[in-house]
Amino acid sequence: MAVEISMPQLSDTMSEGRILVWKKKEGDVVKRGEALAEVATDKADLEIESFHQGTLLKIYSLAGETVKVGSVIAIIGEAGESVAAGSTASAPKGQASIPVASVAPVSPAPVQQQVSSYQPAQVDPLTATERVKISPLAKNVALSQGVDFTQISGSGEGGRIVRKDVDAFLSSPESSESVSAPRPPTRAPEPVQAKFTSAPVTALPVPVGAQELSRMRQTISSRMVESKTTIPHFYMTSKIEVSTLVKFRETLKPLPQYEGITYNHLMVKAVGLALKAQPRINASYQNGHLVQPAEINVGIVTALPDGLLIPVLKRADQISLADLIQESKGLVQRARAGKPKADDLVGGTFSISNVGQYPVESFSAIISPGQGGILAVSAIQDEPVVKNDMVVPGKVMRVTLSVDHRIIDGVVSGEFLKELKRVLEEPVLLLA
């Protein structure tokens, strides 16, 4: 029996994905676990694995197309099985179902063809962005130089015109025929009968050396703005004496099952246990409701050359420390290589941002949308501490908890930090 393959949600923030390449073609035999296609998400390029066995009967979305999560992209069934004309493809939530026979993909015309079909005299660059794909930065440069960008071929994704295309056009011989005196970037809209007229568009000057943000950087930008403008952050900092924790790690390092153990591994385990003791910190605010997840899944903020990913360690409170070390290493290594598994980036309920390798005394982190809190972990520093009424040398770590104040208050936050401090100062508890 034929089954529909839909665009999966490969990260907590993914709403659509662009198909980069199909690993299988129509008529190919597909096994469970085999990669069907590679998809570009808002965070990374990931593979779509098949959960079914059979023959790839039909592909509905070609390479290069952007597809919303939940939309049907292919059909798998038995060899020779035909796709019934009356069957329906599961549409995204909130949309009507579409007959499968009517959604055969149409390859988009090349961008150069679309551009050349316009008559230059009839195209106003100020209003052409709905028909010509162009980045905001490239548009600003073109307008400031008086360039009719409808005459430029794009080299970006899907034929999109980017800054380097405008620069190349300006240095080409044909630019002298197309470039006129720079026109003012703002013009009053012409009155249109019975239609809404938008405000004038002002093109901002482009700073020298400005670069377009990568897709990952754009996602980080929008998500952080969303978090800081919609989540009322509340912060609490705790100082933890970790001399015993340092000795504990040194004791475990030579043992084969704890090979590669880091302070972050110990912190992830400690946070998992503290969240189990104070599950309210593991909750989130969604649409006016308190949502309490069934699992404790800790996201590990991982730095990349131009951004970050947050691979998620599942069931951090239940997994043994030895297994946690191995799973964490795999998660972080795949993230840094830019090749996380589909399940690596989903399901996070709380996150840790650890900059302990740098001389940072204290900092606060921004909550990831969809979660209720995040812990910022700073470096271990040598400081005098009081033990048995005596001042002695010690090793101190400061952690700062950021929580969503709509659902988490100071008392609960304090209890969480109290439990975290207890576990880290008595690290044998991490082996329980």
Residues marked active site are found at: 405
Return the closest-CA partner of residue 101 out of 143, 72, 141: 72
Distances (CA, A) of 411 to 14, 235, 416: 34, 12, 9
DSSP secondary structure of 300-325: E-EEETTEEE--EETTTTTS-HHHHH
Distance, C-alpha 331 to centroid of its chain: 15
- Rounded CA-CA distance 53/34 in Å is 9
Residue 267 and residue 273 in contact, taking contact as beta carbons nearer than 8 Å: no
- Rounded CA-CA distance 10/331 in Å is 15
Contacts of 136 (CB under 8 A, 6+ apart): none
Contacts of 34 (CB under 8 A, 6+ apart): 23, 24, 49, 50
- Rounded CA-CA distance 134/217 in Å is 18
Instruction: Identify the DSSP state of 81.
Output: P
- 394: part of which helix (H) or strand (E)? strand 390-404
